[in-house]
């Protein structure tokens, strides 16, 4: 398996130009995702890559034991709202594990159903109008929240935001929101992100 962004297996910090970052991200997407079923191939490569990143986030996040019913319980990646990934998330995690746990993918229309039993939760753009209510319901629960909604990681509760392609880095992480959710993020992940505090 190719190391995510070539940085999670290295202690070296490298600053890349936005053009080379984007080129590297999309090359990585093609290396990790493909070959994939036609349903996943029809998804834009940006979201194929982000599907892989959801799994990698799970690998580089530690949850409290209380977040799982038992040592054998799966780690659940959820997608809330309209699904931009197609089958790409399921393709990305097929046969993979995180912290020795098998990974399951679930899709939710109602955020009330997503706030229990979910460990990584991608919040779709379709939920922008309900974001305040969603984050309030999730507040302090051990759920790694991820979105590409504008301002997501600067609003006090959102943890990881996917940034636009032209950005120097691929993600922004709110470390205080992660701490409030009782999650520990690997330093190797933080080095690849724009790290911000809550405001």
The pLDDT of residue 170:
87
* CATH entry 1.10.10.60 includes domain 16-196: no
DSSP string, 68-116: SSSTTPPEEEEEESS-SSTTHHHHHHTT-EETTEEEEEEEESSHHHHSS
Using the predicted structure, report yes or no on whether residue 85 has a pLDDT greater than 60: yes
Nearest to 29 by CA among 4, 63, 11: 4
Residue ranges per structural domain of the chain: 16-196
Using the predicted structure, report yes or no on whether residue 155 has a pLDDT greater than 80: no
Rounded average pLDDT over 123-135? 94
Using the predicted structure, report yes or no on whether residue 2 has a pLDDT greater than 80: no
Q: State the average pLDDT for the chain.
A: 82
Tokens coding 191: 């080095």
Query: Are the C-beta atoms of residues 85 and 107 closer than 8 Å to each other?
Result: no
CA-derived radius of gyration, the chain: 16
């Amino acid at each position: 398996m190719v190391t995510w962004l070539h940085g999670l297996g290295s202690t070296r910090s490298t600053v890349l130009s936005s053009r080379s970052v984007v080129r590297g991200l999309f090359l990585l997407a093609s290396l990790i995702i493909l070959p994939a079923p036609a349903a996943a191939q029809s998804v834009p490569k940006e979201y194929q890559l982000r599907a892989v990143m959801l799994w990698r986030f799970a690998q580089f996040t530690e949850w409290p034991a209380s977040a799982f019913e038992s040592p054998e319980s799966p780690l659940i990646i959820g997608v809330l709202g309209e699904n931009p990934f197609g089958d790409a998330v399921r393709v990305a995690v097929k046969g993979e594990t995180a912290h020795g746990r098998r990974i399951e993918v679930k899709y939710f229309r109602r955020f009330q159903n997503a706030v229990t039993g979910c460990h990584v939760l991608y919040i779709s753009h379709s939920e922008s109008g309900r974001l305040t209510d969603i984050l309030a319901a999730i507040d302090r629960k051990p759920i790694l929240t991820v979105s590409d909604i504008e301002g997501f990681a600067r609003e006090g509760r959102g943890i990881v935001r996917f940034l636009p392609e032209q950005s120097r880095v691929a993600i922004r992480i709110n470390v205080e929101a992660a701490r409030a959710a009782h999650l520990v993020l690997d330093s190797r992940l933080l080095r690849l992100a724009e790290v911000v505090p809550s405001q």
